[in-house]
Amino acid sequence: MAAVHIQEAAAFRLDEIYRYTRDRWGDAKAADYIDGLFDVFTRLENHAAFSKPIPAEFGIDGFFTRYQSHIIYWRRLSDGCIGIVTVLHVRMHQIDRFREAFDL
């Protein structure tokens, strides 16, 4: 079974998501939301989550899936593991942040 690696940009975004949710709705809600995201990461690892390929015009070999208000961008790493590249809110300007996360 492939492992899941949280890449730097994704770790930063997960921290932001936790802090924002905690500040608005409390620790319990923030923990539940982060747990839900990690649940999706595990389902990706087990091929149990539906993902779509990133459109070819971006020239990136990767995928995306959604969890509630966030889009999870990921790719298969050279060692076969799942690399969580970034997690962006659906209202964020996806293209700029997407390019930053994928080093474009």
**Quick check: 83 and 5 in contact, CB under 8 A?**
yes
Q: Where are the domains of the chain?
A: 4-101
Task: Evaluate if residue 95 carries a pLDDT over 90.
Answer: no
Task: Evaluate if residue 97 carries a pLDDT over 80.
Answer: no
Q: Give pLDDT, residue 63.
A: 95
Percent of the chain with pLDDT over 90: 69
Q: pLDDT per residue over 55-89, tens digit each?
A: 887 778 899 999 999 999 999 999 989 999 999 99
Superfamily of domain 4-101: RelE-like (3.30.2310.20)
* Mean pLDDT to the nearest integer, 27-49: 95
**Quick check: 77 and 7 in contact, CB under 8 A?**
no
Reported as a pLDDT band with limits 50, 70 and 90, residue 22 is very high
Q: Give pLDDT, residue 35.
A: 98
From the list 95, 94, 103, the residue with the least C-alpha distance to 8 is 103
Q: Rounded distance, CA 55 to CA 30, Å?
A: 31
Residue 88: count of CB within 10 angstroms of its CB: 22
